[in-house]
Structure 1
Amino acid sequence: MRFLKNHFSMYAHLPKEIYVLAFGKLMTSMGALIWPMLTLIMSEKLNLNGQTIGMYMMMFSMFMGPFYLLGGKLADKYNKKHIIVTFDLIGNSLYFVCAALPISMTTLYLLAIASVFQSMEQPAYDALIADLTTYKERERAYSLNYLAMNLGLVMAPMLGGMLFNNYLNLSFFINGLADISSTLLLLFFIKNVKNTISDSKTVNEYEKGEAGSIFKVFSKRKLFFLLFIISGIAAMIYNQFNFLMPLHMEEAFRGSGAFKFGILASINTVVVVIGTPMVTKKFSGVTDVRIMYFGQLLESVGLAFFIFVNRYFVIAVVGIIIFTTGEIFGSISKTPYLTKRIPETHRGRVLSITNSCAGLIGILSNYVIGILIDYYTFHTVWIIIAAIGVVVMILYSIYLILDKKAYPGLYLE
């Protein structure tokens, strides 16, 4: 009990709304049985090959992109709570429709529509956390949200793997029920948040509100364009957790690939639950960009282990532990990094544009990866992923130098 108290004590004294959001994220993640298995649904249930799967993932991303950007604009203009609740209820209702229908291409299209509404609310969700906290509380707030999400995912992927072969429709129903419960929690327990006059205790010099369009904001922060490129390539590497990895598991462990991937996904969440408070506390005084650098390094090294996975599952387990440690570093630093450097009046739009660029480049690359795995071995494709990881590390090294020159005030604390 004392260990748990010490382990989670760093999350004390945050605004109570942050705890409500975290608990809602926990409930949503407990029922997240579909998205971790999406690649396997397309390959095993719909009999699509790697190239076709990559094409559909690319199309989904391109389809969602404009709506994600629209969600960012709406988040800066309208009530964030109302945006989240409205889009969540619409998107989540489609999971119940999927549960009632036989698995077919129609299921895939309904999931695409549901993801559109869920992506539209995400900028409002991220911006709401920033609105509810001071810039000094932000790492802990986003860390808690990330921890809650993964705490709920501890058993979800494994349960999804168990239901995959014979009870996939039940997975859709559980997913929808969990999401609806989370939305109702937010509806009743989060008060409407309005922007207030900020001072130096709640925002730093770089996030004070500005007048003007999003183009004006970016014109003053040209360094972000390099960040878009880095984030896109990094997203491409990370996406292989849900794209290349499950396909590799199915090829290496015929008949039990879905279950093996479910185990890896559950290990991922267990490491996150144990490691997130420790990493957040240990590196609380380290600059965001350095934390992102460490995270990318560990992610790349972890995925490189899959080069050597043939039929030795233990290698995959070691790789996923290293990869997940890197994921923790990245997740607790990327959004706080942005919110400290953009005007609070433009948070929703900047976050949506940044994440859209990363997501688009990442998913477009999945199409290329899909082609590669149709012509080359998984061993070769993983080597390519590792080489790209080296390139990202070089870019991050350059970015750290430039960021220190652009935002010197954040390096004085």
Structure 2
Amino acid sequence: MKLKQDLKDYFSLPWRAYVILGSTIINRMGGFVGPFLALILSSKMGLSNATIGFVVAINSIASIIGTLIGGRIIDKFGSRNTRVIFHGLHGLMYLLCVPLGASLAVIPLLTLASFFTGIQAPTGSTLIMANTKPEERKSAFSLNYIAINVGFSIGPLIAVLLYENHLNLLFIGDALSSFVSVLMIAVLIPGNDVPKEEKSKQTQKELSTIALLIKNPNIIIVVGVIMLYFVAFSQFSFGVPITAKNVFGEIKGPEVYGVLASINGVLCMVLTPFVSILVKPLKVSTIIALNGLLYAIGFGMYAFIGSVPLFVAATVIWTVGEILGATNMDVYIAENAPPSHRGRVSALAPVARRTGFVVGPALAGLVSTAFGLTAMWMVVITFALTGSFLMFKSKSMGVKESVEVERVG
């Protein structure tokens, strides 16, 4: 009976939450260009690996800068307006790429698109925060995570069909999905970003972001933990395929990795509501700590195992950890930020994630080259356990969760 009631929570959210989720699915489903960027630069434009790496790095930096700026813009002009304007500009940049074909002239437009995407990136969480009550947000963020994975699972399949002979349709499709997603938000979501019931709770005076972080060390801790976790999580696209090739060989290794990637995607969609219900009685900080513990166990197993079933088991374990983190980290950050700073504080999470993704493969590459794959996985375990330890010990360090965080779920 309790399970039935918990599942019912997913279907009793405000209608605006489902509009946001639908917009997310359409946007992610049409994300054609991003996953194929390196291939476009290589096969279609003929750039060297070094040049491709430079372009990808510049795009990542542009996105990070945009995210840092976007937090302030969101707090000043609102999540809805920020999403509509800058996600629309993202789509416009891709549309301008269409007549240019596979020429070098598209590279500045791609960089601008990354910058605009970065600006609106925090709205992924702030829009949900603004259109749900505290007790609804765990369910809303869980569904949002499912929506992201549904979109990502469909988008690349469509992009594969277009990439080889219809590059222009790749850009057109990405742009159109952005415009449809933006139109849904513009027409169906009201402009007021702060629910009335939360306005009365906001008693803090306007502080600088740094002053706010000093007064709320729990935000600093969880942002640091996110970066540590994503150093570990980034190994899904670096350490895992390398280890699979090392264990199973040049031919079977990539096949095994493909199976693991599919398992991860399916589990993220299927298990998310059930995992969320299972951990519902726990405090958010405890759930995030368990995220790191499962990362340490799951990714750490790759250092010692040598069979496909055990590789699958390891993937299942860290995927559950991924679900725990993905459905709770943004809740924890946003709930600990006053509405006046919600955009700026929420912007810290994607910056921490991107930083982890940059540091993770680079560090793993250096360690694996110098000391071997086992040593690399030991480093990954250390990062994951350090983050988990920080979250478990946050209360004894004098860090308290906000009242709203404890009410979530």
Q: Answer whether TM exceeds 0.5 for this pair.
A: yes
Q: Distance in 2 between matches of 1:12 and 1:379?
A: 45
**What letter is aligned with 1:19?**
Y
Q: CA deviation at 1:162?
A: 6.8
Higher alpha-carbon deviation: 356-365 or 339-348 = 356-365
Paired positions, count: 404
Higher alpha-carbon deviation: 359-368 or 74-83 = 359-368
CA displacement, residues 140-186 of structure 1 (integer Å, 9 cap, x when unaligned): 11111111111223333455567667766654444333333222222
* Residue segments in structure 2 that go unaligned for 5+ positions in a row: none
Q: Distance in 1 between matches of 2:311 and 2:154?
A: 19
Go from structure 1 to structure 2 and tell me whether the alpha carbon gap of 1:406 and 1:5 turns closer, same or farther (over 3 Å shift): closer
Go from structure 1 to structure 2 and tell me whether the alpha carbon gap of 1:363 and 1:127 turns closer, same or farther (over 3 Å shift): same
1:275 to 271, 278, 287: 271
Preserved CA contact (<8 Å) 1:29 1:149: yes
Q: CA deviation at 1:254?
A: 5.2
Q: Distance in 2 between matches of 1:308 and 1:44?
A: 37
For normalisation by structure 2, the TM-score amounts to 0.81
Q: Distance in 1 between matches of 2:106 and 2:310?
A: 34
Go from structure 1 to structure 2 and tell me whether the alpha carbon gap of 1:233 and 1:178 turns closer, same or farther (over 3 Å shift): same
1:385 to 371, 380, 389: 380
> What aligned pairs does 1:161-240 form with structure 2 within 5 A after superposition?
171-198=170-197, 210-240=205-235
State the match for 2:20 in structure 1: 21
**What letter is aligned with 1:146?**
Y
Higher alpha-carbon deviation: 393-402 or 226-235 = 393-402
Q: CA deviation at 1:68?
A: 0.8
CA displacement, residues 199-222 of structure 1 (integer Å, 9 cap, x when unaligned): 5xx98x6x6553232233223113
Higher alpha-carbon deviation: 283-292 or 85-94 = 85-94
Q: Distance in 2 between matches of 1:256 and 1:43?
A: 25
Higher alpha-carbon deviation: 146-155 or 88-97 = 88-97
State the match for 1:304 in structure 2: 300
Q: Distance in 2 between matches of 1:125 and 1:409?
A: 20
Go from structure 1 to structure 2 and tell me whether the alpha carbon gap of 1:232 and 1:380 turns closer, same or farther (over 3 Å shift): same
Higher alpha-carbon deviation: 299-308 or 110-119 = 299-308
Go from structure 1 to structure 2 and tell me whether the alpha carbon gap of 1:358 and 1:6 turns closer, same or farther (over 3 Å shift): same
Higher alpha-carbon deviation: 163-172 or 109-118 = 163-172
Go from structure 1 to structure 2 and tell me whether the alpha carbon gap of 1:374 and 1:47 turns closer, same or farther (over 3 Å shift): farther
2:337 to 330, 334, 342: 342
Higher alpha-carbon deviation: 291-300 or 21-30 = 291-300
Q: Tell whether 2:61 aligns with 1:66.
A: no
Q: Percent identity, aligned pairs only?
A: 25
> What aligned pairs does 1:32-71 form with structure 2 within 5 A after superposition?
32-36=31-35, 58-71=57-70
Q: Distance in 1 between matches of 2:208 and 2:43?
A: 46
State the match for 2:281 in structure 1: 285
Go from structure 1 to structure 2 and tell me whether the alpha carbon gap of 1:170 and 1:196 turns closer, same or farther (over 3 Å shift): closer
Q: Distance in 1 between matches of 2:370 and 2:101?
A: 32
Preserved CA contact (<8 Å) 2:63 2:117: no
**What letter is aligned with 2:119?**
M
Q: Distance in 1 between matches of 2:219 and 2:35?
A: 30
SS in 2 for 1:133: coil
Q: CA deviation at 1:74?
A: 0.7
Q: Tell whether 2:316 aligns with 1:324.
A: no
Q: Tell whether 2:152 aligns with 1:141.
A: no
Q: CA deviation at 1:263?
A: 4.9
**What letter is aligned with 1:183?**
V
For normalisation by structure 1, the TM-score amounts to 0.80
* Residue segments in structure 1 that go unaligned for 5+ positions in a row: none
Q: CA deviation at 1:368?
A: 3.4
Higher alpha-carbon deviation: 354-363 or 399-408 = 399-408
Go from structure 1 to structure 2 and tell me whether the alpha carbon gap of 1:22 and 1:372 turns closer, same or farther (over 3 Å shift): same
Higher alpha-carbon deviation: 55-64 or 344-353 = 55-64
**What letter is aligned with 2:208?**
S
Go from structure 1 to structure 2 and tell me whether the alpha carbon gap of 1:179 and 1:266 turns closer, same or farther (over 3 Å shift): farther
State the match for 1:363 in structure 2: 358
**What letter is aligned with 1:224?**
I
CA displacement, residues 248-277 of structure 1 (integer Å, 9 cap, x when unaligned): 668877579887656544432321221111
Go from structure 1 to structure 2 and tell me whether the alpha carbon gap of 1:105 and 1:234 turns closer, same or farther (over 3 Å shift): farther
Q: Distance in 2 between matches of 1:232 and 1:122?
A: 17
